[in-house]
Structure 1
Amino acid sequence: MGRPAVAILGTRGIPAAHGGFETLAERLAQHLANRGWRVTVYCQHEVASLGRRFTPSTWRGIELVHVEVARKGALATLAFDWHCTRHAAGRDALCLVLGYNGAPFLPWLRLRGRTILTNMDGIEWRRPKWNHAVRGYFWVSEWIAAWASHRLIADHPAIADHLATRRPRSAIATIPYGGDPVTEAPTAPLDALGLTPQNYLLSVARIEPDNSILPIVRAFSRRRRGARLVVLGCLSDANPYHRAVRAAAGDEVLFPGGIYDPAQVRALRFHARAYLHGHRVGGTNPSLVEALWAGNAVIAHDNVFNAWTTGPGQFAFRDEDALEAAIHLALTEPESLAPARAAARRRAAEAFAWSEVLARYEAELIALAELAGSRQATPVSVRPDAAPRPR
């Protein structure tokens, strides 16, 4: 009997260096490889001129297929998704697709007999940053992915509710994002930025309107704080929203840019007085999960996505005045944060352990392999209710 096989599409590749999906792909690929699966992960490479389209390599027992695209930006991602799709179509493997950016190509995988499991990510077409044309593309892509995939994964119950307007609930599994506990961290990354432990608030997010970065900066900058606000994320003077964020910032706001080294980000989270999370659209946000695992008190925008992720015991805001009040409380009454920090760690352990997340993904893949009449995978030990069988 051959080893079960899975190809992971939809990310920039591993080792992870960009975001949540890449981290999920890296953790899941290693988990499956250690369990005896043959795992392939597609990796994007933007080049000035095309050399060799597909170049294989091996990393920790995982096959990496490096895909060259001689484009930039959104067109590069679309081209990458197409080349990954046509390459995976020729493989005898289950296809795990992370996100639906390349959904128009999924019917090709179905026509070639591949079995598809798709993590549907957030409701991308609702994000205000996109123009009408891009929103329309994402709206159509969501429908295509929902019906071209054999089974869907939602990373949040509210996303599952939304997907149930596209497909029957029996075709949807809810599996959140994972994280690791952070119980200690060096202070050297803080020293490099001139920060003092417990004397700054932290935001880690793309600098976009639907992440409430401008209200966060404005609320913090209303008065002198005797503390810092650290806003991690790339800024460009060519972007009007980024210019507005900089203009609103007082001299106690620090913009270090994008920091992608995991150890540095963990240290910044661990030593922060509180974590600010302004996301308004999405599912289980990886950055918020990581804040919970770091034991951060959280001040989050009050919506169904954040409320479920944080659980009870955190601070919520709906407008800038409420946000400013929460910031003031965090900076002037530090003893009020202790219950929130304890609640954060409890919630992380309860809902977002990588071991549970990865086991549930594997259970979904095994069930799909059985459904498709594929090779039988080595049995795994998961809770009976962890991953409902496809119907």
Structure 2
Amino acid sequence: MKKLIILGIRGIPARHGGFETFAEKLSLYLVKQGWQVTVYCQESGTGSISTSEWNGIQRIHIPIANAGVAGTIFFDWKATVHALGKSGLFLTLGYNTAVFNLLQRIKGQTNVINMDGIEWKREKWGVFAKTWFWLNERAGCWFGNHLVADHPMIKDHLATRVSRSKITMIPYGGDCVANSTAATLDRYKLEPQGFSVIIARPEPENSFLQIVTAFSSKPRDHKLVVLGNFSPDKNKYHKQVMDAAGDEVIFPGAIYEAEVVQALRYFSRFYIHGHRVGGTNPSLVEALGAGCSVIAHNNHFNRWVAGDAAVYFNDEHDCAVLFDKYLRSDHSCLIATMRKESTRRFYEKFTWENILSQYEKLLIQWYPKERSK
């Protein structure tokens, strides 16, 4: 039986973000294919390491007393050290603490690393954090036996560090949302097609301020729903975004109910995607899976994912022009065409079945030969 050990995430079932969702999907898929899968999980508190089983997946729980970034780094360290006693193939999701993976290289363990986006370019980080991420990106390239890039541009970027032959491009996957329940919108007093939606972390590189300011520059007879954890009393940027918002902008906070988020995508006029840094963004893939028409920031990352399913803006002015043009009801035929293109692109590139089968092929290719029996 082949064994896979997953490092680099907070744990499963998914409660935090894209990598956790991917790890859950991959783990369940591989168990059905006859693999033995182990996932390291970060827990709050103190005490000894424990194990449990969830849907046939072995979970190793490591309690961490520290909160925030320090706690995550400490968890990654403890998980890496503990994993030195394991056999099989290792999959590390993200390179944020890739310096620790030197231990696995010394031990002779085979480790495939998904290199995620270009974390050190994010505006929210200070000099120390950017330096840390830059160094760990290099460490991941050096210490990983093989690398996964989730976007062709990420592969191009990594190829400036290592040989292209060391990198495989596999994008992120998503679920198809073929229908939803309009009554779900009632709690927010929304009507189908009467609103557009942003679903992202409220950070500068995701263009929240530009989008909200552009939308609020004039009355729209339309709502803009902005999902995300906002703390205007603690975060200057969050306050700027909320201060720029007009009366037609709604901030419901972060929503973790999948059926609600799916309904907000499915019934929106547009999904607004302002990400400027990164590779294949999970939220954009999920928007395609819901058949959304998209307004997106104009960069190579977004254009490769959304293609003709989106119209693109470069700055606040461009974004306002797109709102002026496409929020009018006389563009319903164009929006319907964009929605069809979203669905076509999703089934062409981003279904989970497609993505997970690509991963299994790669993992089989890199499975340690002496442990494959």
- With normalisation by structure 1, the TM-score equals 0.93
Determine if contact 1:4/1:93 at 8 Å carries over to the other structure.
yes
Tell me the distance in 2 between the aligned counterparts of 1:260 and 1:327.
28
Shift of 1:44: 1.1
Structure 1 CA distance for aligned equivalents of residues 171 and 55 of structure 2:
25
Aligned-pair CA distance for 1:188: 3.2
Q: Offset at 1:292?
A: 0.5
Separation of aligned partners in 1, 2:261 and 2:309: 24
Query: Does residue 142 in structure 1 map to residue 137 in structure 2?
Result: yes
1:179 offset after TM fit, Å? 1.0
Match of 1:308 in 2: 304
Match of 2:146 in 1: 151
Q: Distance in 2 between matches of 1:344 and 1:328?
A: 22
**Shift, 1:376, TM fit:** 2.7
Name the structure 1 match of 2:50.
55
Q: How does 1:39-78 map onto structure 2 within 5 Å?
A: 39-47=37-45, 50-52=46-48, 54-78=49-73
- 3-state SS in 2 of match to 1:259: coil
Judge conservation of contact 2:88–2:371 (CA < 8 Å) in 1.
no
Count of aligned positions: 370
Which of 77, 84, 87 in structure 2 is aligned with 1:89?
Answer: 84
Q: Which amino acid aligns with 2:289?
A: W
Output the amino acid matched with 1:83. Answer: K
Give 1:331's match in structure 2, choosing from 327, 336, 339.
327
The aligned amino acid for 1:173 is: T
Give the whole-Å Cα distance in 2 for the aligned partners of 1:336 and 1:326.
Answer: 13
Q: Distance between the aligned counterparts of 1:40 and 1:101, measured in 2?
A: 20
Q: Is the counterpart of residue 349 in structure 1 residue 344 in structure 2?
A: no
Residues 1:290 and 2:286 aligned together: yes
Match of 1:224 among 207, 216, 219: 219
2:227 matched to 1:214? no
> Over residues 168-224 of structure 1, what are the superposed CA-to-partner deviations in whole Å (9 max), with x where a residue is unaligned?
000100000001211101123311111111100100000000000001100000111
* Partner AA of 2:299 in structure 1: N
Instruction: Write the deviation string for residues 53-80 of structure 1: whole angstroms up to 9, x where unpaired.
Output: x110001100011111010100010011
Residue 330 of structure 1 and its aligned partner are, at CA, apart by 2.5
Tell whether the 8 Å contact from 1:212 to 1:278 is kept in structure 2 after alignment: yes
Q: Per-residue displacement from partner, 1:81-111 (whole Å, max 9, x unpaired)?
A: 0111011111012110000112110001111
CA contact (8 A) 1:46 1:76 kept: no
Question: Does residue 160 of the first structure (1) align with residue 158 of the second (2)?
Answer: no
2:20 pairs with 1:22: yes
Whether the 8 Å contact between 1:297 and 1:344 is mirrored in structure 2 is yes
Partner of 2:257: 261
Q: Which amino acid aligns with 2:250?
A: L
CA shift, 1:45, in A, is 1.2
Aligned with 1:96: secondary structure? strand
Residue 373 of structure 1 deviates from its aligned partner by 2.0
For 1:135 and 1:126, locate their aligned partners in 2 and report how far apart those are by CA, in whole Å. 7
**Matched residues in 2 for 1:92 and 1:299: separation?**
46
Identity over aligned residues, as a percent?
48
Aligned to 1:205: 200
Which amino acid in 1 is paired with 2:295?
I
Question: Which consecutive aligned stretches of 4+ in structure 1 deviate over 4 angstroms post-superposition?
Answer: none
Name the Cα RMSD after superposition.
Answer: 1.0
Counterparts of 1:207 and 1:31, CA distance in 2: 32
Separation of aligned partners in 1, 2:63 and 2:128: 27
Q: In structure 1, how many angstroms separate the alpha carbons of the residues matched to 2:71 and 2:282?
A: 24
> Which of 115, 129, 132 matches 2:127?
132
For residues 240-273 of structure 1, give each alpha carbon's deviation from its aligned partner in whole angstroms, at most 9, with x where no partner exists. Answer: 0000001000011000111112111111100101
